[in-house]
Amino acid sequence: MTEHLVSVSFQPSGRTVDVPAGTDLFSLMVNLGLKHANTCGGKGKCGKCKVKIEEGLHGLNPPTETELKHLLPEEIGRGYRLACAVQIPPVPFLSVRSPSSGPSTQKLQTEGLAVSVPPDPAVKKYTIRLDRSGSFEEEGVADELQERYGIVCLMDYAALTMLPEAIERGKGCVTCTVYRGETITAVEPGDTTGKCLGFAADIGTTKLAVYLVDLRSGEQLAFSASPNPQVLYGDDVMSRITFAMAGKGNLLTMQKTLLKEIARLVSGCCVQAGTDPRWVYEGCIVGNTCMIQVFLGISPKNLAFFPYRNLFRKGVTVGVKELPVRLPVHRTARIYTLPLIAGFVGADTVAARLAVELNDFREPRLLLDIGTNTEVVLSDGNGSISCSCASGPAFEGMHITYGMKADSSSIDRVSIDPETFEVAFHTIDGAKPAGICGSGIASAIAEMLKTGIIGPNGKFRNDLSGSTERIKTVDGKAVEFVLAWKHETAVNTDISISQKDVVEVQKAKAAIYAGCTLLMRQKGITADQIQSLVVAGAFGQFVDKGSVQTIGMFPEVAPGRVHEVGNAAGTGARIALASLPKREEAERIAHTTKYYELATDPDFTGIYARAMLFPQRRDHDAGN
- Give contact residues for its own copies (rule: CB under 8 A): 135-139, 154-155, 157-158, 160-161, 163-165, 168, 296-299, 301-302, 307, 309-314, 316-318, 321-322, 342
Identify which of residues 164 and 559 has a Cβ nearer to its own copies in the complex: 164
- Chain-centroid distance of CA 75 in Å reads 37
Shortest distance, position 279 Cβ to its own copies, whole Å: 22
Contacts of 587 (CB under 8 A, 6+ apart): 314, 315, 339
Shortest distance, position 531 Cβ to its own copies, whole Å: 31
Shortest distance, position 540 Cβ to its own copies, whole Å: 30
- Quote the CA–CA distance of 294 and 258 in Å, as a whole number: 8
Identify which of residues 92 and 319 has a Cβ nearer to its own copies in the complex: 319
Q: Find, among 383, 451, 381, the residue nearest to 419 by Cα.
A: 451
- Quote the CA–CA distance of 340 and 617 in Å, as a whole number: 40
Element (H, E) at 185: strand 183-189
Identify which of residues 55 and 143 has a Cβ nearer to its own copies in the complex: 143
Q: What pairs with residue 244 in β-bridges? A: none
- Quote the CA–CA distance of 589 and 623 in Å, as a whole number: 45
Identify which of residues 82 and 340 has a Cβ nearer to its own copies in the complex: 340
- Quote the CA–CA distance of 145 and 383 in Å, as a whole number: 42
DSSP string, 45-113: SS---EEEEEE-GGGSPPPPHHHHHHS-HHHHHTTEEEGGG-BPPSSSEEEEE-TT-SB----SS---S
Q: What pairs with residue 212 in β-bridges? A: 199, 222
Shortest distance, position 603 Cβ to its own copies, whole Å: 22
Shortest distance, position 309 Cβ to its own copies, whole Å: 4
Shortest distance, position 308 Cβ to its own copies, whole Å: 9
Identify which of residues 293 and 549 has a Cβ nearer to its own copies in the complex: 293
- Quote the CA–CA distance of 49 and 36 in Å, as a whole number: 6
Element (H, E) at 293: helix 289-296
DSSP conformation class of 236: S
Shortest distance, position 589 Cβ to its own copies, whole Å: 15
Identify which of residues 310 and 489 has a Cβ nearer to its own copies in the complex: 310
Q: Residue 436: helix, strand or coil by DSSP?
A: strand
Shortest distance, position 550 Cβ to its own copies, whole Å: 38
The values of phi and psi at residue 202, to 5°, are: -110, 110
The values of phi and psi at residue 338, to 5°, are: -65, 160
Identify which of residues 32 and 130 has a Cβ nearer to its own copies in the complex: 130
Identify which of residues 342 and 377 has a Cβ nearer to its own copies in the complex: 342
Shortest distance, position 168 Cβ to its own copies, whole Å: 8
Sign of CA dihedral 343, 344, 346, 350: negative
- Quote the CA–CA distance of 304 and 504 in Å, as a whole number: 23
Shortest distance, position 316 Cβ to its own copies, whole Å: 6
- Quote the CA–CA distance of 182 and 154 in Å, as a whole number: 6
Identify which of residues 469 and 584 has a Cβ nearer to its own copies in the complex: 584
Shortest distance, position 514 Cβ to its own copies, whole Å: 22
Identify which of residues 296 and 613 has a Cβ nearer to its own copies in the complex: 296
Shortest distance, position 243 Cβ to its own copies, whole Å: 16
DSSP string, 558-603: -GGGEEEEE-HHHHHHHHHHHBHHHHHHHHHHHHHSEE--GGG-TT
Identify which of residues 113 and 158 has a Cβ nearer to its own copies in the complex: 158
Strand order in the sheet with 532-536: 562-566, 532-536, 365-369, 374-380, 383-389, 594-595
Contacts of 600 (CB under 8 A, 6+ apart): 307
Identify which of residues 327 and 535 has a Cβ nearer to its own copies in the complex: 327
Identify which of residues 141 and 483 has a Cβ nearer to its own copies in the complex: 141
| Angstrom distances, CA of residue 360 to CA of 225, 248, 353, 382 | 31, 45, 10, 12
Q: Say if CB 364 and CB 332 are below 8 A apart.
A: no
Shortest distance, position 323 Cβ to its own copies, whole Å: 10
Q: Say if CB 173 and CB 191 are below 8 A apart.
A: yes
